[in-house]
């Protein structure tokens, strides 16, 4: 008999916006955005009432307002969201300590062995959802499966307030019907490329050879190949090594003059050095992120043999990366820099995880 792990992916529904609607009854049932409505503002989170109009997080506030003229904007309260998140994770820890946080409102839980001795992972997911609703007056969606990829897909499947289980016996059938856009790691650009190659869903992805996927998608080819077959050996990591430190700034006005761009790049690099020092982080790869006036985005990276911690090293490298960016005819809206590839993350360690096996009878 093949043995599988029991993985739950928990994701709070419209977290920031739901907290605001919970705490402010006058906002309930109304389209709400957490963020700022001014010209350069961005939506941090949108309620489900706002999402019906097409409003999404990371959308420019002006566009969101055009889509939904009645949209209510309120500033975020990060201290409140962090406190609510702390209480959510306390609930998680009542069932397992094998928890991988992804954000304030999202996590993987491995409940193969759990604190209450419950055989069915779906029952634990139901119990966590119930407690979040009763104790915090918030709604979560949960996905249950035998690996992280499928648990994540399952939690997105019936949002909001969803609960979906993908049993090992039904995984292949489920993946076959899954649109390519729903695969973890497939964004709009990759989805478009896949469609030009005749890849539309899990069925057509599974028909692709590993060699073909590696040719077109590089290292991600192996990931897509495995996902199409329901394979994901990554464990739920209770301790996550920080893999990057970065910062970015959205400019008050789009800029095209070289002198203005260099000044803004200097400010971002200076802030990055401060954050690296606070975090005690040392990495060898510098990445430049540029978002243009039309929200198209590019990144450029360079890796050095030495650690990147000082401004007089980072700034010249950032300027070098900027040389390849055409911004005189495409005004810049946002500039970001990050340092990654920490010394602790040795390339030879990758792929060394072994998925432990435990037997269970059902889900």
C-alpha angle 76-61-63 in degrees, rounded to nearest 5: 155
Report the alpha-carbon distance of residue 92 to residue 8 in Å, rounded.
11
Strands 332-342 and 43-46 come out as unpaired
Q: Which two tokens stand for residue 305?
A: 């043999």
Contact between residue 116 and residue 359 where contact means Cβ atoms under 8 Å apart: no
Q: Which two tokens stand for residue 213?
A: 């996927």
The backbone torsions φ and ψ at residue 234, rounded to the nearest 5 degrees and listed phi first, read -65, 130
Edge-first strand listing for the sheet containing 283-292? 244-255, 332-342, 283-292, 297-308
CB hemisphere CA count around 83 (13 angstroms): 6
Report the alpha-carbon distance of residue 331 to residue 293 in Å, rounded.
5
Q: CB neighbours (10 Å) of residue 226?
A: 15
Report the alpha-carbon distance of residue 55 to residue 166 in Å, rounded.
30
Active site residue 118: no
Report the alpha-carbon distance of residue 153 to residue 127 in Å, rounded.
20
Catalytic residue chosen out of the listed positions 38, 100, 106, 348: 106
Q: Which positions are annotated as active-site residues?
A: 106
């Amino acid at each position: 008999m093949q043995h599988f792990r029991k993985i739950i992916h928990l994701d709070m529904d419209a977290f920031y916006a739901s907290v605001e609607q919970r705490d402010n009854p006058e906002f309930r049932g109304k389209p709400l955005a957490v963020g700022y409505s001014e010209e350069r503002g961005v939506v941090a989170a949108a309620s489900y009432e706002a999402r019906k109009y097409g409003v999404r997080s990371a959308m420019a506030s002006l566009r969101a307002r055009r889509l939904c003229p009645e949209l209510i904007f309120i500033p975020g309260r990060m201290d409140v969201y962090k406190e609510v998140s702390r209480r959510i994770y306390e609930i998680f820890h009542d069932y397992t300590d094998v928890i991988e946080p992804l954000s304030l409102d999202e996590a993987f839980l491995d409940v193969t062995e759990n604190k209450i001795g419950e055989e069915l992972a779906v029952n634990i997911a139901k119990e966590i959802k119930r407690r979040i609703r009763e104790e915090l007056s918030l709604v979560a969606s949960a996905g249950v499966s035998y690996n992280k990829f499928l648990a994540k897909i399952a939690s997105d499947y019936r949002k909001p307030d969803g609960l979906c289980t993908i049993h090992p016996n039904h995984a292949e059938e489920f993946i076959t019907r899954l649109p390519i856009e729903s695969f973890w790691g497939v964004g709009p650009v990759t989805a478009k490329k896949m469609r030009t190659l005749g890849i539309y869903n899990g069925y057509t992805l599974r028909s692709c050879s590993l060699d073909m996927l590696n040719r077109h998608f590089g290292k991600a080819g192996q990931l897509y190949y495995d996902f199409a077959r329901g394979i994901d050996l990554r464990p739920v990591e209770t301790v996550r090594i920080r893999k990057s430190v970065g910062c970015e700034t959205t400019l008050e006005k789009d800029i095209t003059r070289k002198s203005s761009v260099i000044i803004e790049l200097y400010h971002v690099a200076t802030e990055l050095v401060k954050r690296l020092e606070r975090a005690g982080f040392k990495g060898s790869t510098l990445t430049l992120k540029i978002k243009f006036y039309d929200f198209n985005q590019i990144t450029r990276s360079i890796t050095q043999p030495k650690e990147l911690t000082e401004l007089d090293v980072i700034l010249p490298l950032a300027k070098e990366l900027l040389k390849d960016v055409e911004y005189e005819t495409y005004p810049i809206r946002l500039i970001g820099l990050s340092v990654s590839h920490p010394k602790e993350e040795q390339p030879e360690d990758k792929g060394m995880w072994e998925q432990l096996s435990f037997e269970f009878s059902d889900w």
